[in-house]
Amino acid sequence: MHDFEYVPRSEYLPLKKQIMELIYEVQDEVEEFFTFRFDFIGSTKRKMITRDRKSNKGFDFDVNIEVNDDDEEYTAEDIRKIMKNAITKVSRRYGFTKCEDSTRVITIIMANRRLSTREHSCDFAIVYNRQYIRFNKKQHNYTWEYQPKGYKDLEDKAETLKRDKDKKYWNEVLSVYLDKKNRNDDPDKHSRSIYAETINEVYTRYLNDHK
């Protein structure tokens, strides 16, 4: 059992601003190839950033990067590798110690090697029109894949839950999200997935019959 808590805004906001500055520099790095827009999503967008008081992993941010390549000049592999190289280069200037390429995201990690702690990290997913670039590690290739069913209309559902004037639905989201994170024992199941599960579960419980 974990011991997750919500991180105060005053603590994560300066780091979020640093991530934004980092992304602006990445935009400069890749402008000879393409441009892109970015959005903080999920738990980051909804100010639901958490950390586990029992672990040394710190907390993380989630960002979607939407590349402007309407003419499809670049393959999924081209885009992912161009972005990873730029993110690696820029993130080092900000003190990030590691850049990892996983199935769904590119992750940068700020670690304190002396204390063997992970202070915070940021996951970047490259998306376009409800698709994302997936890295198949076994076949070592990159493909555009449609987002899993649970991600469809996710932020519309979250916005509907948050608009409840009595805050009943959103308070339930906050409670369920922490509970799911505390009970999660799958190291490959990240905040994005748990956030999606939470929003869909609470929306179905309270609003599916009242659309």
State the CATH number of the domain containing residue 76.
3.30.460.10
Residues 8 and 88 in one domain: yes
Other CB atoms closer than 10 Å to residue 175's CB: what's the count?
A: 12
Residues 191 and 117 in one domain: no
Residues 153 and 143 in one domain: no
Residues 127 and 158 in one domain: no
Q: What's the pLDDT tens digit per position in 37-78?
A: 999 999 999 999 999 988 877 889 999 999 999 889 999 999
- Largest separation between any pair of C-alpha atoms in the chain: 54
CA distance 144 to 181: 28
Q: Could you say which of 125, 147, 169 is where a domain stops?
A: 147
Residues 30 and 104 in one domain: yes
pLDDT band at 89 (very low <50, low <70, confident <90, very high): very high
Please give the sequence-ordered ranges of beta strands (E in DSSP) within the chain, or none if there are none. Answer: 4-6, 35-40, 50-52, 59-68, 98-101, 106-112, 117-128, 131-136, 141-146
State the pairing for strand pair 4-6/59-68: unpaired
State residue 173's pLDDT score. 97
pTM here is 0.90
Residues 22 and 82 in one domain: yes
CA distance 86 to 100: 13
Q: What's the pLDDT tens digit per position in 105-140?
A: 999 999 876 655 668 899 999 999 889 999 998 888
Residues 141 and 197 in one domain: no
The residue assigned the tokens 């070592």 is 140
**Six token digits for residue 157:** 């559902």
CA distance 88 to 71: 26
CA distance 144 to 163: 33
Residues 111 and 79 in one domain: yes
Residues 14 and 107 in one domain: yes
State residue 107's pLDDT score. 94
How many separate domains does the chain show?
A: 2
200 lies in which domain range? 148-211
